[in-house]
Chain A
Amino acid sequence: MGTPVVDVRGLQRIYPLAEEPVIALGGVDLRIDPGEFVAVMGPSGSGKSTFMHIVGFLDRPTAGRYFFNGSDVTELDEDALADIRSRELGFVFQAYNLLPRTSAIENVALPMLYAGVPERERRAAALAALEEVGLGRYAHHHPNQLSGGQQQRVAIARSLVNNPKLILADEPTGALDVRSTGDVMALFERLNHERGITIMIVTHEPEVAAHAKRVVTFRDGHVVDDRAAAPREAVLS
């Protein structure tokens, strides 16, 4: 499979609270290879969100090592991590997090701003990404003129626009109805299948996880289950 996109070894994250330190991650070893579509599941407080934040360089491990795309990024400084985020990562959030009063195309182009891409290329790439998610004709709409499902697809376009190695999605369907959930998950599947983009999605809904090829379950800061996804019919029945 080549170099793993994410390779964490003995990953720990301990919050030093006053009374008693909280152990969010108690030593996680996990490897995600290029082209995988991984769902991370687990109840609240299981450590799955902390894991995603560390994988996305928004948080740092207390102990353990993190190799991203083959290189050790554990000790990199904030600016270097910001640069990796702008070039190699895409984020999708539960609440979409689009900039208000800003057109879809400008929202999609935002990551390229920080990657130093010239304006002309930014617009072309943003429009291509919007077309990829089927929203090319909404390029100049503002978020408040779009439905929840459309907003989330704009957010997915934003996560793709830099051709990232990895897209991280944190409860991407948490705010959507059943139909929009289906659309968004179908989009993720297509991106994974057709473009070979590695995707890691954090969710607590088994129906959502069923779209992934691999399901990793967290409990109390440890990986307790890691298997290929059950065929979807089995979950639904």
Chain B
Amino acid sequence: MNITTTMRTAIKALLTNRSRSLLTMLGVVIGVAAVIVTVAIGVGARASISAQIDALGSNLIVVLPGSLNQGGVRTGSGAASTLTPADGMAIAGLPHVAAVTPTVTVRAQVVANGQNWQTSIVGVAPTYPYIRSWALASGTFFTDADVASAAKVCVLGQTVIANLFANGTNPIGQSVLIRNVPFVVIGTLAAKGQSGVGQDQDDTIVIPYTSALERLTGQTTLSSMSVSADQADNVATVQTETTALLEARHHIPTGMPDDFSIRNLQDIASAAASTATIMQLLLAGVAAVSLVVGGIGIMNIMLVSVTERTREIGLRVAVGARRAAILWQFLIEAIVLSTVGGLIGVAFGAGGALGVSLGAHWPVSIPFTAVALSVAFSAFVGVFFGYYPAAKASKLDPIVALRFE
């Protein structure tokens, strides 16, 4: 008796007890469906986190001024006025640095088109759209010449446009009063949405940093600097070299605290990624437990089935079935139950994931490896939990089995 015949015998036996077969599969179906849904959501969530971090500029490091120590009173990070545009020029000369922008941030009341609005004014260099991966919606961005001349030009974020030009007036060419200084709108930024922490990134007006320093703050120091490394691999190098450069420029002796600090967005990215990894391990654990429970369900029903079919087994032996044929029949029944259960589970899981993505607008994605692994694992569950009942069936004494009531 070959394996195809055994398989057909097993499938026939399962079809003979259709409703019981379905109920037996249920544990594995639910287990696998749960795995697929959670993996799909987990992968989708991870993808959207990394997309958000990429939007910040993943090769980005941010240099902040340090804290002040005035008579023993220490202010927080960023309070000191230690970073200058000249520092930015120096950093731009380092190897592996793709772009640098000084940043001056001011909150101000702005007036245009008969409306007013308080927003965040950001003074930057023309490298800013590149560093923040931020495209223009219309118009142009300012140039190095505008920076050199501290030009009164600005680029508006979408939230500002929505509040100042709600009547549909094209903002390009209009004048915006920032702290009573008129700036001409030369461009608009594409909508960027909320940042990872829920801040509206479109509620901003971007101007040349020289204009911000000379016309708005009246100071010579920066709020921060953003440095973009040429590749993700070089972020750490750029961070080390920037630190060394600024320590030298600021005459900080070795061992003394720096008057600036550097934040690396890759740290945030890897923290988010490791959170996602922990979540996925947790889900894998839950999935393993539910599949084991499903497997125990299969073993239970298979044991009941072996007892119930004792006479059938006795008869099969009497008409010439070898022990191995009986073993294989019951083992294949268990494997078919668990594998078909796994496949149905994948279908339900995919449906559930689709439902979540449509209903909650979450990004989902079902990796093929998750499907293959859960089907393979459910087949393994069938082998593992089917072996004991199958071995029990194959060891029955046919004389006793034939008389079993």
A contacts, CB < 8 Å to B: 53, 56, 58-59, 78-79, 82-87, 89, 91, 93, 95, 97, 99, 101-102, 110-111, 113-116, 158
* Contact between A115 and B402, CB atoms less than 8 A apart: no
CB distance from B103 to the nearest CB of A (A): 78
* Contact between A110 and B1, CB atoms less than 8 A apart: no
Complex interface residues of chain B between 292 and 337 (CB less than 8 A to chain A)? 311-312, 314-325
Q: List 10 A-B contacts (CB under 8 A).
A: A58-B399, A59-B399, A82-B317, A82-B321, A83-B320, A86-B319, A99-B312, A102-B12, A114-B316, A114-B325
Query: Which one of B317, B323, B324 has the highest number of Cβ atoms from chain A below 10 Å of its Cβ?
Result: B317
Q: Which 9 A-B pairs have the closest CB atoms?
A: A86-B320, A111-B319, A114-B320, A85-B320, A82-B322, A97-B315, A101-B16, A114-B321, A91-B318
Instruction: Tell me, yes or no, whether B85 is within 8 Å of chain A by CB.
Output: no
CB distance from B303 to the nearest CB of A (A): 19
CB distance from B15 to the nearest CB of A (A): 9
* Contact between B322 and A113, CB atoms less than 8 A apart: no
Residues of chain B lying within 8 A (CB to CB) of residue A102 = 12, 16
Our pick among B319, B323, B398 for the contact of A79 (Cβ within 8 Å) is B323
What 20 new A-B contacts, CB under 8 Å, besides A86-B321, A113-B1? A53-B399, A58-B399, A78-B322, A79-B322, A82-B317, A82-B323, A83-B322, A85-B320, A87-B320, A91-B319, A93-B402, A95-B311, A97-B314, A97-B315, A99-B312, A101-B16, A110-B315, A111-B319, A114-B319, A116-B2
Residues of chain A lying within 8 A (CB to CB) of residue B84 = none
Closest to B405 in A: A95
Instruction: Tell me, yes or no, whether B219 is within 8 Å of chain A by CB.
Output: no
CB distance from B382 to the nearest CB of A (A): 23
Complex Cα–Cα for A84 and B322 (A): 11
Closest to A97 in B: B315
CB distance from B75 to the nearest CB of A (A): 84
* Contact between B319 and A78, CB atoms less than 8 A apart: no
Residues of chain A lying within 8 A (CB to CB) of residue B320 = 82-87, 89, 111, 114-115
Residues of chain A lying within 8 A (CB to CB) of residue B314 = 97
Residues of chain B lying within 8 A (CB to CB) of residue A78 = 322-323
Our pick among A85, A89, A95, A114 for the contact of B1 (Cβ within 8 Å) is A114
Instruction: Tell me, yes or no, whether B9 is within 8 Å of chain A by CB.
Output: yes
CB distance from B317 to the nearest CB of A (A): 7
CB distance from A59 to the nearest CB of B (A): 6
* Contact between B311 and A97, CB atoms less than 8 A apart: yes
Complex Cα–Cα for A216 and B175 (A): 123
Instruction: Tell me, yes or no, whether B5 is within 8 Å of chain A by CB.
Output: yes
Query: For the side of the interface on B, what is the size category?
Result: 20 to 34
Closest to B16 in A: A101
Residues of chain B lying within 8 A (CB to CB) of residue A59 = 399
Is chain A's binding surface mostly helix, strand, loop or mixed?
helix
* Contact between A56 and B318, CB atoms less than 8 A apart: yes
Closest to B403 in A: A95
Complex interface residues of chain B between 263 and 316 (CB less than 8 A to chain A)? 311-312, 314-316
Residues of chain A lying within 8 A (CB to CB) of residue B319 = 85-86, 91, 110-111, 114, 158
Complex Cα–Cα for A137 and B12 (A): 23
* Contact between B316 and A110, CB atoms less than 8 A apart: yes
Complex Cα–Cα for A75 and B317 (A): 19
CB distance from A38 to the nearest CB of B (A): 19
CB distance from A99 to the nearest CB of B (A): 6
Closest to B323 in A: A78
Residues of chain B lying within 8 A (CB to CB) of residue A115 = 320
* Contact between A99 and B315, CB atoms less than 8 A apart: yes
Residues of chain A lying within 8 A (CB to CB) of residue B398 = 58
Complex interface residues of chain B between 350 and 405 (CB less than 8 A to chain A)? 398-399, 402
CB distance from A84 to the nearest CB of B (A): 8
Query: Which one of B311, B312, B315, B398 has the highest number of Cβ atoms from chain A below 10 Å of its Cβ?
Result: B315
Residues of chain A lying within 8 A (CB to CB) of residue B316 = 110, 114
CB distance from B227 to the nearest CB of A (A): 75
Closest to A114 in B: B320
Complex Cα–Cα for A115 and B5 (A): 11
Complex Cα–Cα for A102 and B399 (A): 23
Residues of chain B lying within 8 A (CB to CB) of residue A110 = 315-316, 319
CB distance from B54 to the nearest CB of A (A): 60
Complex interface residues of chain B between 4 and 42 (CB less than 8 A to chain A)? 5, 9, 12, 16-17
Our pick among B312, B322, B399 for the contact of A114 (Cβ within 8 Å) is B322
Query: Which one of B1, B316, B319, B325 has the highest number of Cβ atoms from chain A below 10 Å of its Cβ?
Result: B319
Residues of chain B lying within 8 A (CB to CB) of residue A116 = 1-2
Closest to A79 in B: B322
CB distance from B377 to the nearest CB of A (A): 32
Complex Cα–Cα for A59 and B403 (A): 14
